[in-house]
Structure 1
Amino acid sequence: MYYSLRSFIANFSKTLPALCLFGLVSCQAAQSRVEPNISFQSQTLVVSGRGMVDIPKTNARVSLGVQVQGETSGLVQQELAKRSQAVVNLLKTRQDVTKLETTSITLNPRYNPKDGNQIIGYYATNLVRFQIAPEKLGTLLDEAIKTGATRIDGVTLVASDEAIATAQKRAIDAASKDARSQADAALSALQLKQQEIVSIQINGARPPIPVAMETSNLIQKTADFSSTPVVAGEQRIEAFVTLQVRYQPTQN
């Protein structure tokens, strides 16, 4: 045991200088690393551009239908079917009517206002929706009322789907150019050098929610819409494009 301990001490004394030398070299290597000059690191600028395109409203979206009431559900359904069929046939014969579809059919009991549990009759509605040119709307509504329509649930003036799709692309193009122009102006004024666009975000490019014209649900048979002027106006399509631009200070 005594001999082994002396041998260990002797061997350790021989290797100690080598270990110290290795540690010294490692320390010197760590101290000689070159840190990046953060003053010239690239940074980013975020800008948002806006594009707007106005297009004419060429379509009127109309929701109208028939509402009837009676003492029994059977009689109400028969009368509803008769009047609704007449209105639908009228709309189908008009070549300027597009996207015709049924949107709602309902049958509900009518209760005695003095006794909420007593059924005194029934009422039923059948609603359809379609599109037509705004300038032809008044005459068609007048014909529909004479045929059997008893209610108009809404009229909304909008641009065509094709025009909206084209306007969305134009709005995105305008918003992109607006954002790029803002970035160029800001960096130039601050004497910064633009490197590249690192991200692009398109926000929207959607038309505003169409606002329906004010209409009365239940209408009288004597109502006359044929001479009522309808001015469609324009619909605005907007787009927002956000750019993240990498830049660095201009070196003198």
Structure 2
Amino acid sequence: MIKKSINKPIVSYEFYERLGLFLFISSFLSLISVSSVVAEPEPARTLIVTGNGMESIATTIAEVELGVEVKGKNAAEVQQEIAKKTSVVVNVLRSKDVEHLQTTGVRLYPNYEQVEQNSGQMILTGYTGSNTVSFRVSIEQVGVLLDDTVEAGASRVDGVNFTATPEAIFNAKKEALRKATINAQDRADVVLDTLNLTSKEIVKIEMDDARLEQPQPFARDAMYASEAKVSTPVVAGEQTVEASVTMQITY
């Protein structure tokens, strides 16, 4: 009996390669068609609003800068006189328990005068020297203390600035930020309510460091104080702390 052999069809490698390419192209085209019908998400709508806050606090501390100024013919004598008068002034300040007492400047310079008008020739006429100190004291004490230092030998008062205590300033900064935050939220609510829109969430918050405004400095003539029969009146003002907060809100 003769058996016939049956030849099975042989699939070539090229067939599989073409089939794979066909399937890849079909899948790619199907993805393009699907993505073309999917709607792109709408961009988030945001409102950016800034709020401001302000808090005023009473000043209770005076920052004073004063000193001794002397003129003379000899530099060494001028410097010696400054040292003597400054020592007396400093002792008075220490007896009053002032805070942060420190030297802020020591100067000694020559003085010249022109010999004849428009001649350009200058001659030495003497020297001027000064020594200045600064300190902090309560506002209730500063008026009397200015008079006492002038009587002790101080011949210049360069300025008096008023400030609140560090604790009061810290609390005022927090309150100003709180008010700024509420103000920003209120402004956003007004805008959205007017347009019949609803806020969703706050996605970003920015805040400026609270700014501290100094009250008007107090300046006076030291020579007037030496002639005064009553203590110099000093009236302190207020310090204002300002802050701002910016919010980005989706709706």
Say whether the fold is shared (TM-score over 0.5).
yes
Match of 1:184 in 2: 189
Compute the RMSD of aligned alpha carbons.
2.6
Letter in 1 for 2:201: E
Q: Following the alignment from structure 1 to structure 2, what is the Cα–Cα distance between the partners of residues 196 and 175?
A: 18
Partner residue of 2:204 out of 176, 199, 205:
199
**Partner Cα distance (2:238, 2:16) in 1:** 94
Residue 74 of structure 1 is matched in structure 2 by 76
Gaps of 5+ in 2: 1-12
Please list, as runs of the form range in 1=range in 2, the aligned pairs for 1:1-252 lying within 5 A after superposition.
Answer: 19=21, 22-33=24-35, 34-39=37-42, 41-95=43-97, 97-114=98-115, 117-216=122-221, 219=223, 222-224=226-228, 226-247=230-251
Structure 1, unpaired ranges of 5+: 1-10, 248-252
Amino acid aligned to 1:75: E
Question: Percent of pairs identical after alignment?
Answer: 38
Aligned-pair CA distance for 1:168: 0.6
> 1:140–1:226: 8 Å Cα contact kept in structure 2?
no
Larger Rg: 2
Structure 1 residue 134: Cα displacement: 2.3
Partner SS, residue 42 of structure 1? coil
8 Å CA contact retained: 1:142, 1:225: no
CA distance 1:211–1:233, shift in 2 (3 Å): closer
- 2:5 maps to none
Q: TM-score, normalised by structure 1?
A: 0.82
Superposition deviation, residue 67 in structure 1: 0.3
Look up the SS of the partner of 1:192 in the other structure.
coil
One-letter identity of the residue aligned with 2:155: T
Q: Which amino acid aligns with 1:241?
A: V
Work out the CA distance in 2 between the residues paired with 1:109 and 1:210.
37
| 2:8 equivalent in structure 1 | none
**1:145 Cα deviation after fit:** 0.8
Q: Deviations over 1:55-94 (max 9, x none)?
A: 1111121111000011111111110000001000000000
In 1, are the aligned partners of 2:48 and 2:246 still within 8 Å (CA)?
A: yes
Over residues 84-119 of structure 1, what are the superposed CA-to-partner deviations in whole Å (9 max), with x where a residue is unaligned?
010000000003x22211111111111123366432
SS of 1:103 mapped into structure 2:
strand
Aligned equivalents of 2:170, 2:229: Cα separation in 1: 32
Structure 1 distance, partners of 2:20, 2:211, is: 74
Shift of 1:126: 0.6
Q: Secondary structure at the match of 1:30?
A: helix
Bigger Cα displacement from structure 2, 45-54 vs 226-235:
226-235
Of Structure 1 and Structure 2, the greater strand share is in: 1
Would you say the 8 A contact 1:141–1:225 is kept in 2?
A: no
Whole-Å separation in 2 of the counterparts to 1:87 and 1:239 = 41
